[in-house]
């Protein structure tokens, strides 16, 4: 078996930046997980195989149905991130991988973030990967936040460093890592934002 096949069999298509957090022990004592905007469930095989109590939500009913078929018994629901069906302080960790940048505007972005924070328990982990302007500001003109057209042709809700740091402070969160941004050949930038509640 090829090494790549073996790795895919063991880890699935897990987000490599999420894998980094797992490898660093950030999920060792956090077993109740919400995968917000789960899509087809790329992060779920590894988490399910390791005994995590995984809950998932996505606005796309077909994605939720696919997750339900692929992972029988999982708590997968169709819904919006700005109106979550779970109780306050019910999750040990929230994963929002490549989903917050689909916000319609800043109010929608903040509403989603507030809901994700609401369901997170004290000392819980918040992990997000999202589009940002960090490192590509000169390519975006005078606006570095908001719903913007990126050089790759996509339109995303984009954040900058100041916005993420301000939101961290407003939520009362603590950054567990400095903000880390990957610049994809000046076409887009994706930032990893990891906080503890």
Rounded to an integer, what distance in angstroms lies between the CA atom of residue 71 and that of residue 74? 6
Give the mean model confidence (pLDDT) for residues 5-31: 91
Percent of the chain having pLDDT more than 70?
100
CA distance 124 to 32: 10
The domain locations on the chain are 13-196
Burial of 158: CB neighbours in 10 Å, binned 0-12, 13-18, 19+: buried
Pair 81, 116: CB distance under 8 Å: yes
pTM of the model: 0.95
Q: Among 171, 113, 129, 151, which residue's Cα sits nearest to residue 42?
A: 129
pLDDT of 5: 86
The residue ranking higher by pLDDT, 127 or 72, is: 127
Q: Which two tokens stand for residue 166?
A: 């301000």
Checking if the pLDDT of 11 tops 90, the result is no
Cα(194)–Cα(112) distance, integer angstroms: 16
What does the mean pLDDT of the chain come to?
95
The Cα–Cα gap between 1 and 8 comes to 11
178: Cβ–Cβ under 8 A, 6 or more apart, which residues?
none
Please say if the pLDDT value at position 73 is more than 90. Answer: no
Q: Which CATH architecture has domain 13-196?
A: 3-Layer(aba) Sandwich (3.40)
């Amino acid at each position: 078996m090829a090494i790549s096949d073996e790795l895919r069999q063991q880890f699935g298509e897990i987000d490599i930046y999420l894998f980094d957090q797992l490898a660093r022990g950030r999920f060792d004592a956090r077993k109740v997980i919400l995968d917000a905007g789960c899509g087809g469930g790329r992060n779920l095989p590894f988490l399910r195989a390791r005994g995590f109590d995984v809950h998932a939500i996505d606005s796309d009913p077909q994605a939720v149905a696919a997750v339900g078929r692929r992972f029988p018994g999982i708590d997968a629901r169709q819904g919006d991130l700005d109106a979550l069906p779970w109780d306050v302080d019910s999750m040990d960790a929230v994963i929002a991988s490549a989903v917050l940048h689909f916000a319609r505007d800043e109010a929608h972005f903040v509403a989603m973030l507030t809901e994700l924070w609401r369901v997170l328990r004290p000392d819980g982990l918040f992990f997000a990967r999202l589009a940002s302007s960090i490192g590509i500001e000169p390519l975006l003109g005078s606006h570095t936040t908001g719903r913007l057209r990126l050089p790759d042709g996509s339109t995303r809700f984009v954040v900058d460093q100041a916005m993420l740091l301000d939101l961290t402070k407003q939520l009362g969160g603590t950054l567990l890592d400095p903000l880390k941004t990957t610049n994809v050949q000046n076409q887009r930038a994706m930032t990893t934002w990891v906080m503890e509640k």
